[in-house]
Amino acid sequence: MNAFLRFNPEYDLSSQPGVSPLFGVPVSVKDNICIQGKETTCASKILKGHVPPYDATVIERLKSKGATIFGQCNMDEFAFGSSSETSAFGPVRNPWDLDRVPGGSSGGSAAAVSADMTLAALGSDTGGSIRQPAAFCGVVGLKPTYGRVSRFGLIAFGSSFDQIGPITKTVEDAAILMNILAGHDSKDSTSAPMPVPDYTKALRRDVRGLRIGLPEEYFIEGIDPEVEKNVRAAAEILKRLGAEVKSVKLPHTAYSVAVYYIVAVAEASSNLGRFDGVEYGLRIPEKPLREMYFETRDQGFGREAKRRILLGTFVLSSGYYEAYYLKGQKVRTLIRDDFNKAFKEVDVILTPTAPTAAFKIGEKLNDPLAMYLSDIFTIPVNLAGIPAISIPCGFTSSGLPVGLQLMAKPFDEETLFRTAYAFEQETEFYKKNPKLDGEK
């Protein structure tokens, strides 16, 4: 499956059974989260040999609870992708069908959890990179509210969008991990100084009175009818369990992908300016210094990284900044306003996580726009900074998992957990596992 790039053979001996809540629990980590003393590469050649001198805050927190930091998971290079095919170390495969992608960019994390190769994993989500692979691999993936989890030690892609979150088999596991991951961190000035509730207390099998909104803009042409059928059936199940389901409007949804591919790539091109061969990672020895930068970046970055660096540099460049970057930021405001209005009427918004189930390896790799549009239902959440969870809601006729996305108000992860748990316990899709006997 090529889900892992590296394994950690040691485990923490200071961890104690009965004392450390995650004693011996193997948690794997997307390869853009820094682990002290372990090579961390973002699946890119340019970070070959990069060994961080510190732990990301999320790693520190997991270690403090006794977790074993088990594997470092393959991903799209610098999290640039929706299929985990842009890794410099080869594509990740989907455990449900090895000819298909696991989604991305946290594809290694989702595939590893789905195939029971690790008990849980961390991913990062800038435009859907936790939720879309969770949907494609039939597991649970939570993108927390922007600011809920510290980004310290997460190698930055889009700094106003990025969030680390758990990928797990069950909703309960995600809640347990969020109790550990969430909270203010003085090392991340964008982490929110707000108290963290006990998320496991939200795991009640009760959605009576809950108001759930179905946005018509998410059931559009191009959506796979089998995905639509499963997601609509999920809404019916929640209704049967006592929730009130109604239609809501998010009129600027169709502009989300365009906003994202201006604003997020602008942030990315700026963040990737630091990879220049001077302090860490790859250096192509060239003279003089200027040539060293150009050659190191040429040989170090893959095709999609170059595409985004160029696009981001362009939209920020003199003469184009207002027409593209500023325009994008303004439409971002309209998309946020859509959600603010919708959440006056409902507690949860229910949508498909992605318009299709997992697609074939190679299918979209040479058509960047088609690839970008596979994130059409996950991107708006990052633009607005709200939390969202993807949970399994059924299978296509060919046996591929379908994901259901639930969104909530900022810092209302509890309502997501409550809704997701009620649905999961009622349907038990999580009990079905991919067949891994090597036969198709």
Partner 1 sequence: MEFEILKIAELARLNLKPEEQEKLTKDLEAILGYVKKLDSLDTSKVEPTSHVLDLENVFRSDQAKPSHVRDKALEHAPLREGKFFKVPKVVERE
Site for partner 1 in 334-363 (CB under 8 A): 334, 336
Is the Cβ of residue 49 or residue 399 nearer to partner 1 in the bound state?
49
Touching partner 1, residues 126-155 (CB under 8 A): 146-147
One residue of 95, 103, 133, 385 binding partner 1 per CB under 8 A: 385
Q: Minimum distance between the CB of residue 402 and partner 1, rounded to whole angstroms?
A: 27
* Residue 397 engages partner 1 in binding (rule: CB under 8 A): no
Q: Which of 7, 19, 186, 345 is the binder for partner 1 (CB under 8 A)?
A: 186
**Identified catalytic residue from 30, 45, 63, 409:** 30
Instruction: Indicate if 84 belongs to the active site.
Output: no
> CB of 323: closest distance to partner 1 in angstroms?
8
Q: What is the 3-state secondary structure (H, E, C) of the chain?
A: CCCEEEECCCCCCCCCCCCCCCCCCEEEEECCECCCCCCCCCCCHHHCCCCCCCCCHHHHHHHHCCCEEEEEECCCHHHCCCCCCCCCCCCCCECCECCECCCCCCHHHHHHHHCCCCCEEEEEECCCCCHHHHHHHCCEEEECCCCCECCCCECCCCCCCCEEEEEECCHHHHHHHHHHHECCCCCCCCCCCCCCCCHHHHCCCCCCCCEEEEEHHHCCCCCCHHHHHHHHHHHHHHHHCCCEEEEECCCCHHHHHHHHHHHHHHHHHHHHHHCCCCCCCCCCCCCCHHHHHHHHHHHHCCHHHHHHHHHHHHHHCCCCCHHHHHHHHHHHHHHHHHHHHHHHHCCEEEEECCCCCCCECCCCCCCHHHHHHCCCCCHHHHHHCCCEEEEEEEECCCCCEEEEEEEECCCCHHHHHHHHHHHHHHHCHHHCCCCCCCCC
**CB of residue 11 vs partner 1: minimum separation in angstroms?**
23
- Contact between 327 and partner 1 by CB under 8 A: the answer reads yes
Q: Quote the least distance from Cβ 411 to partner 1, whole Å.
A: 10
Does 277 engage in binding with partner 1 (CB under 8 A)?
Answer: yes
Residue 294 binds partner 1, judged by CB under 8 A: yes
Catalytic residue among 28, 44, 82, 105: 105
Indicate if 327 belongs to the active site: no
CB closer to partner 1, 30 vs 297: 297
Binding flag, residue 160, partner 1 (CB under 8 A)? yes
Catalytic residue among 129, 191, 374, 390: 129
Window contacting partner 1 (CB under 8 A); options: 57-65, 215-223, 279-287, 418-426: 279-287
Site for partner 1 in 23-52 (CB under 8 A): 49-51
**Residue 283 lies near partner 1 (rule: CB under 8 A):** yes
Pick from 282, 349, 361, 389: which binds partner 1 (CB under 8 A)? 282
CB of 370 to partner 1, least distance (A): 10
Q: Which residue lies nearer to partner 1 by CB, 211 or 306?
A: 306
List the one residue from 324, 343, 377, 423 that touches partner 1 (CB under 8 A): 324
Q: Is 368 in the site for partner 1 (CB under 8 A)?
A: yes
| 202 in Cβ contact with 417 (< 8 Å) | yes
Contacts of 183 (CB under 8 A, 6+ apart): 149, 150, 191, 196
Applying CB under 8 A, among 2, 8, 329, 356 the residue interacting with partner 1 is 329
> Is residue 129 among the annotated active site residues?
yes
Q: Is 249 in the site for partner 1 (CB under 8 A)?
A: no
CB 104 within 8 A of CB 84: yes
| 222: contact with partner 1 by CB under 8 A | no
Smallest gap from Cβ 363 to partner 1, in A, equals 17
* Cα dihedral: 162, 107, 169, 438 (round 10): 180
Provide the minimum distance between the beta carbon of 21 and partner 1 in the complex, in angstroms, as a whole number.
Answer: 29
Binding residues with partner 1: total (CB under 8 A): 71
Residues designated as active site: 30, 105, 129
